[in-house]
């Protein structure tokens, strides 16, 4: 009987420790989140979209877009060896 109580207490301590660990993980995850609700997330998305729309492209990209470089090659503009291999 005493041994059974000891085993039950040991299991109870393990379950409590696991519960506390999960609570700590949830708190840690929440503290690492920059936004806490949908409105804040949508506001940040709108801000980033506006920033993207109003910033100018680099001169190299503008020059290449005016010369007619295909879009599929534009992701490789900063890798001259790949670009030269295509030509």
The SS3 of residue 41 is helix
Helices then strands, counting H and E runs in the chain, come out as 5, 0
Residue 83 in this model has a pLDDT that exceeds 60: no
Q: What is the pLDDT of residues 19-68, one digit of tens each?
A: 999 999 988 887 777 877 889 889 989 998 888 888 766 656 656 666 65
Give the per-residue pLDDT at 11. Answer: 95
Q: What is the mean pLDDT of the chain?
A: 76
> Domain segments of the chain: what residues?
1-55, 57-87
Print burial letters for 32-59: b (CB count within 10 Å at least 16), e (below 16): eeeeeeeeeeeeeeeeeeeeeeeeeeee
């Amino acid at each position: 009987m005493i041994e059974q109580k000891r085993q039950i207490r040991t299991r109870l301590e393990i379950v409590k420790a696991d519960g506390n660990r999960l609570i700590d993980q949830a708190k840690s995850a929440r503290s690492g989140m920059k936004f806490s609700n949908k409105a804040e997330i949508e506001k940040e998305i709108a801000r980033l979209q506006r920033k993207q729309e109003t910033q100018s492209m680099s001169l190299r990209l503008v020059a290449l877009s005016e010369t007619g470089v295909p879009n599929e090659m534009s992701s490789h503009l900063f890798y001259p060896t790949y670009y030269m291999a295509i030509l």
